[in-house]
Amino acid sequence: MARTNKRRENIRSAIESVKQVFSDNSETVSGLAALSEAVTKFDGDYAIYLKGEEAFGVAMNGKTTAKHEAEETLTDVLYPLGRALRSYAKKADKHDIFELVDVEEYELDRMRDTDLVEYAKTVLKRANEVGTELAKYNVTPEELADVQSKLDAYDKALKAQGGGMAARSSEFAAMVDALQTVKDDLEDIDDIMERVRKDNPKFYDAYNSARRVKALGTRHNPAPAASAGTQPQS
C-alpha cells in the first residue's frame, strides 16, 4: 500500500469534504454551466493527484522514504514559523526578512534538498535574531528548538541516503504539481460560487465552510455568507 503521512491525509479529507458539498448540491451544480465544468475539471485533477500520490508512495522506500518523511516533518514546522516571521516583518517594515519568508508551502516542497537546508538555516537564524518579538505570534523558544531538531534530523537523513543532495524524485514533483492544480481549480470555483450565493445561500455556506479547512488554505478574504447564523471568519 502506498505510503501516506498525516498532512496528505488531511489534504485528502479536506478535498473530500468539498466534493461532498458538490455531491449534495448536484442539481445546483449542473444548473450552472460554468460551475459544472469547473467541478468536472476539479474532480479530474484530484484523480490525477491521487494517482501521483500512489506512485510516490510506491517509489519511495527504505532510506529514501526516511529522507522524504524527515523533509515533510521539517516543512510542516518550518512553514508556520515562516508565516509568523512574515507577519512580524510586514508590521515592522523589515523588507529583507519579508522577502526571505514570502514563500508558499508548495514552494518549500519544490526546493532542492540543498536549498531547503540553507533556507531553513536562514529562517532559524533570523527568527533567533528577532527573539522575543515573535512571542506576540506565539512563537516560543521551544518551537524554535523543535524546528532546529527537525532540521538536524533531515540533514542526518540526507547523509544516510548517500546521494541525498540530489534533485527531488520526479514522482514527488508530479504529486506536488498535481496538488497545486487542484488548489488552483478551487480558486477558480471560489469566484464562480459567488453566482449562487444569493439564490442558494445554504449551498454557498456549506462550500465556504469546507474551503476554510486549514489543509487546503483559507479562501482569500471570503465575504460573510448571506444566510442567517453564519459566523464570521476568525
Q: Average pLDDT per run of 10 along the chain, which is 234 residues long?
A: 64 93 95 96 96 76 72 93 95 94 89 91 95 91 95 87 52 88 95 91 94 60 44 40
Query: How high is the pLDDT of residue 169?
Result: 66
195 to 33, 54, 59, 191: CA distances (angstroms): 11, 36, 43, 8
Burial class (CB in 10 A: 0-12, 13-18, 19+), 108: buried
Query: How high is the pLDDT of residue 233?
Result: 41
Maximum distance among all Cα pairs of the chain, rounded to whole angstroms: 59
| Cα R_g (the chain), whole angstroms | 20
Q: Residue 193: what are its φ and ψ, rounded to 5°? A: -60, -20
159 to 1, 66, 120, 141, 218: CA distances (angstroms): 27, 11, 17, 27, 36
Q: Which residues, in sequence order, are CB contacts of 78 under 8 Å at separation 6+?
A: 108, 119, 120, 123, 147, 150, 151
Helix or strand holding residue 226 (H, E): none
How many Cα atoms are found within 13 Å in the side-chain-facing hemisphere of 121?
9
pTM of the model: 0.53
The closest alpha carbon to 101, from 86, 121, 122, belongs to 86
| CA separation for the pair 162, 146 (Å, rounded) | 25
Burial class (CB in 10 A: 0-12, 13-18, 19+), 120: buried
Contact 144, 124 (CB under 8 A): yes
Contact 216, 18 (CB under 8 A): yes
- Say how many C-beta atoms besides its own lie within 10 A of residue 127's C-beta: 23
CA angle, 85 as apex, 83 and 89 as ends, to 5°? 115
Query: How high is the pLDDT of residue 159?
Result: 80
Q: Residue 16: what are its φ and ψ, rounded to 5°? A: -60, -35
